[in-house]
């Protein structure tokens, strides 16, 4: 007695791989071919496991009565388009996309601009206050950096003595123990 040749179709995730041994015993096949595709050819006496839809298999010339199917809903089988119908639908969709491409591009650019707050649906927003705040913050940071540099230079010149800023980059060291204060113009400072 020869082993039967079986094509078994079930959706991906149905458990064909986990149930392969049980299916092999059930159908009485000699060996199992996982992830089978019709382009691979049919091996006599083998259980061919595939997740291709039965109507797709029929498109390869396999008779519906030769396909063992499980897990496919009946309504989906009845209303599922064949591979040539899906290809034709795809070609129509591509043609429509080619015609609507420029319009779609304009719409997408409009959405992108409005989402990034560069274009408001009703008014163009004025960012002058944001710019002014940013400039104020930048100026404050520059001022703080200049004060820190001045402090470092004054400590280098006056040492542990007290000092005060005279303006325009000049400082006055105030020594301890009653010595006379002296003024120093820092290099690179504007008088």
Question: Which one, of 186, 179, 144, lies nearest residue 160 by Cα?
Answer: 179
pTM: 0.40
Q: Which residues of 89-116 are buried (b: 16+ CB within 10 A; e: fewer)?
A: eeeeeeeeeeeeeeeeeeeeeeeeeeee
Q: What is the pLDDT of residues 23-72, one digit of tens each?
A: 999 999 999 999 999 999 889 999 999 999 988 898 888 888 888 888 88
In this structure, the number of other CB atoms found within 10 A of the CB of residue 6 comes to 21
pLDDT number for residue 3: 85
pLDDT number for residue 38: 92
Q: What is the pLDDT of residues 128-154, one digit of tens each?
A: 788 888 888 889 988 888 888 888 887
Question: Which one, of 53, 98, 104, 99, lies nearest residue 79 by Cα?
Answer: 53
pLDDT number for residue 191: 46
pLDDT average, residue stretch 109-138: 69
Distance CA 31, CA 3 (A): 9
Q: How long is the chain? A: 191
């Amino acid at each position: 007695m020869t082993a039967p040749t079986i094509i078994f179709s079930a959706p991906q995730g149905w458990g064909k791989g986990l149930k392969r041994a049980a299916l092999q015993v059930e159908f009485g096949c000699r060996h199992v071919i996982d992830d089978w595709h019709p382009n691979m050819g049919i091996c006599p006496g083998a259980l061919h496991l595939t997740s291709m839809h039965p109507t797709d298999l029929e498109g390869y010339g396999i008779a519906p009565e030769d396909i063992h199917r499980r897990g496919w809903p009946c309504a989906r089988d009845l209303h599922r388009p064949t591979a040539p119908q899906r290809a034709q639908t795809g070609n129509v969709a591509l043609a429509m996309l080619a015609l609507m491409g420029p319009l779609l591009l304009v719409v997408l650019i409009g959405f992108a601009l409005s989402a990034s707050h560069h274009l408001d649906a009703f008014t163009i927003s004025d960012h002058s206050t944001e710019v002014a705040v940013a400039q104020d913050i930048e100026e404050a940071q520059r001022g703080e950096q200049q004060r820190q540099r001045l402090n470092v230079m004054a400590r280098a010149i006056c040492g542990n003595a007290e000092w005060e800023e005279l303006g325009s980059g000049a400082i006055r060291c105030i020594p301890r123990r009653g010595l006379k204060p002296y003024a120093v113009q820092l290099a690179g400072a504007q008088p």
